[in-house]
């Protein structure tokens, strides 16, 4: 009701505004103009209009709801039961018989022949020249003296003792007794027929190719390296030039001596010989045999035996061996080694060498080697191995298994399907109609008086 009253008030307010604005429009003749209009005549007339009115009412609505209810029904189920059934089985007995089989194999035979290979090498020719070099060296003089050093070591002493270990073993004792067993066997009647079988074999094919191998080796070459040049001080005798210092008398001549001076000279150390390992290449070409296998299809005649069986009763004496264990005591000797250490004093004589240097002038002849290469032809004999295959027949004893069957009675469980009716509780949905009130907005048209201005010219 409040919503319909609000709408009615809004409509009345709109009409009031329109009525107020209408005379102003009429005064200006409905538009802006600079002309002088005649005075209008305004007349108010009430007009009846239809206005909407909204009301909220309660309406009953019916709905269908579903309820879950437990229900017990009978359900058919099938279960599997087992019953015992006796049946006849044929138990196979395998017997092994040896047969001869002849076959051919390809036996390889290797033959070795030597081939010559000529090649040229550069042979070094060394020429030696003798030269002399003078130098001064400090010659070492060694003096050796022996000193004693006493020390104590722990010397191990090993002692061996014999001991015994007793243990008990269970010795098996076997006893054999014979029992009779009657059984029925199916005696085979064998018929032989021939069947062709296709099989694949690998035939060897030998090819040869050449391979270059490196057969070089390391050689030792001697090289003379000159020694380094060092600066050393050498004493030089200098004569006096002062006449006042000449010796006078016999005593003065004995006490007079020359002045000593030192000069720095360059001295070269002795050369040293260095051994250098140099790799000398030596390629060798040899022939390598390769064997490839090519698949071939062959046909073989195979005898096939078919067997039918005839029942025959037999008596078999079976030896039954029983085993029982008897306790037996044994003695095992063994050795135990113990080690103890004993202190022992020892005396060691240690040589102590002292060195002093004495100046000595030497003349050293040395050799200067020059090397030139001369071409030389050489011949090398290379062994070449070839392989050929020779057919060889062989005999092989092949074990062949023959099967005979024995009839026996056995029991087995056979599955049987059984039908049962079992009560089962299920959930079902049951429909039910429910009434509930729902607010609904209803619109209706109501007559309303609206004032309207009529303008006359």
Q: Considering the entire predicted model, what is its pTM? A: 0.18
Both tokens of residue 383?
């062994």
H/E segment holding residue 331: strand 283-456
User: Using CA atoms, how far apart are residues 382 and 285, in angstroms rounded to an integer?
Assistant: 8
- Which residues are paired to 152 by β-bridges? 345
Please give the pLDDT value at position 221: 82
Q: Which residues pair with 262 in a beta bridge?
A: 235
- Phi/psi for 69 (5° steps) reads -125, 130
Q: State how far the Cα of 290 lies from the Cα of 112, in Å rounded to an integer.
A: 16
Q: Which burial class, exposed, middle or buried, applies to 29 when counting CB atoms under 10 A from its CB (0-12, 13-18, 19+)?
A: middle
Nearest-CA neighbor of 221 among 122, 121, 120, 126? Answer: 126
Contacts of 208 by beta carbon, 8 Å cutoff, 6+ apart: 287, 288, 289, 290, 386
Q: Give the pLDDT of residue 2.
A: 46
Taking alpha carbons only, the member of 235, 248, 246, 450 closest to residue 361 is 235
Per-residue pLDDT of the chain (457 residues; tens, 9 = 90+): 444 455 455 555 544 444 444 343 334 444 344 444 444 444 444 556 677 888 888 888 888 888 888 888 888 888 888 888 888 888 888 888 888 888 888 888 888 888 888 888 888 888 888 888 888 888 888 888 888 888 888 888 888 888 888 888 888 888 888 888 888 888 888 888 888 888 888 888 888 888 888 888 888 888 888 888 888 787 776 655 444 445 554 444 444 455 567 778 787 888 888 888 888 888 888 888 888 888 888 888 888 888 888 888 888 888 888 888 888 888 888 888 888 888 888 888 888 888 888 888 888 888 888 888 888 888 888 888 888 888 888 888 888 888 888 888 888 888 888 888 888 888 888 888 888 888 888 888 877 766 554 444 3
* Distance in Å from the first CA to the final CA of the chain: 44
Closest CA to 78 of 419, 334, 432: 419
- With a CB cutoff of 8 Å and minimum separation 6, the contacts of 113 are 383, 384, 386
Cα-only R_g, the chain = 67
Q: Give the closest residue to 317 by CA, choosing from 183, 184, 181.
A: 181
DSSP state of 227: P
Rounded to 5 degrees, what angle do the CA atoms 223, 224, 227 make?
140
CB 234 within 8 A of CB 359: yes
Residue 7 has what pLDDT?
46
CA 162, CA 179: separation in Å to the nearest integer? 53
Give the whole-angstrom CA distance, residue 409 versus residue 44: 127
* Of the candidates 70, 69, 68, 75, the residue with the CA atom closest to the CA atom of residue 424: 75
- Answer whether 58's CB lies under 8 Å from 439's CB: yes
Cβ–Cβ under 8 Å, residues 209 and 319: no
| Dist CA 343 CA 35 (whole Å) | 154
Tokens of 239: 């004569």
How many CA atoms are closer than 13 Å to the CA of 58, on its beta-carbon side?
3
Q: Percent helix, strand, coil in the chain (nearest 5)? A: 10, 85, 10
Q: What is the model's pLDDT at position 451?
A: 58
Domain ranges of the chain: 2-74+437-456, 217-240+258-280
Phi, psi of 382 (to 5 degrees): -110, 125
DSSP code at position 423: E
């Amino acid at each position: 009701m409040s919503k319909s009253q609000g709408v009615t008030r809004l409509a009345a307010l709109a009409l009031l505004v329109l009525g107020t604005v209408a005379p102003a429009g009429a005064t200006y003749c409905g538009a802006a103009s600079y002309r002088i209009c005649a005075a209008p005549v305004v007349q108010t007339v009430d007009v009846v209009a239809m206005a909407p009115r909204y009301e909220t009412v309660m309406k009953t609505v019916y709905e269908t709801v579903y309820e879950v209810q437990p229900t017990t029904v009978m359900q058919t189920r099938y279960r599997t039961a087992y019953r015992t059934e006796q049946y006849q089985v044929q138990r196979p007995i395998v017997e092994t018989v040896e047969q001869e089989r002849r076959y051919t194999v390809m036996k390889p035979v290797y033959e070795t022949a030597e081939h010559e290979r000529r090649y040229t090498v550069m042979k070094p020719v060394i020429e030696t020249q003798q030269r002399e070099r003078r130098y001064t060296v400090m010659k070492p003089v060694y003096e050796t003296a022996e000193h004693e050093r006493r020390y104590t070591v722990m010397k191990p002493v090993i002692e061996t003792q014999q001991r015994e270990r007793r243990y008990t073993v269970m010795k098996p004792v076997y006893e054999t007794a014979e029992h009779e067993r009657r059984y029925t066997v199916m005696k085979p009647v064998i018929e032989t027929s021939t069947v062709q079988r296709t099989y694949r074999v690998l035939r060897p094919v030998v090819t040869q190719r050449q391979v270059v191998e490196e057969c070089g080796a390391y050689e030792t070459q001697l090289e003379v390296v000159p020694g380094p040049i060092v600066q050393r001080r050498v004493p030089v005798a200098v004569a006096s030039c002062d006449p006042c210092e000449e010796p006078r008398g016999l005593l003065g001549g004995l006490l007079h001596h020359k002045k000593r001076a030192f000069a720095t000279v360059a001295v070269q150390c002795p050369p040293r010989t260095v051994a250098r390992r140099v790799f000398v290449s030596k390629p060798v070409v040899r022939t390598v045999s390769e064997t490839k296998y090519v698949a071939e299809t062959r046909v073989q005649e195979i005898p096939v035996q078919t067997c039918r069986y005839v029942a025959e009763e037999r008596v078999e004496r079976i030896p039954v061996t029983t085993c029982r264990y008897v306790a037996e005591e044994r003695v095992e000797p063994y050795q135990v080694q113990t080690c103890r250490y004993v202190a022992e004093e020892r005396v060691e004589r240690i040589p102590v060498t002292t060195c002093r240097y004495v100046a000595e002038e030497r003349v050293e002849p040395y050799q200067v080697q020059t090397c030139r290469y001369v071409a030389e032809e050489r011949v090398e004999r290379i062994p070449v191995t070839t392989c050929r295959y020779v057919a060889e027949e062989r005999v092989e004893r092949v074990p062949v298994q023959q099967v005979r069957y024995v009839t026996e009675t056995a029991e087995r469980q056979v599955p049987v399907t059984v039908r049962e009716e079992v009560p089962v509780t299920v959930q079902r949905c049951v429909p039910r109609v429910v009434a509930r009130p729902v607010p609904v907005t209803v619109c209706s048209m109501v007559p309303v008086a609206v004032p309207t201005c009529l303008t006359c010219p």
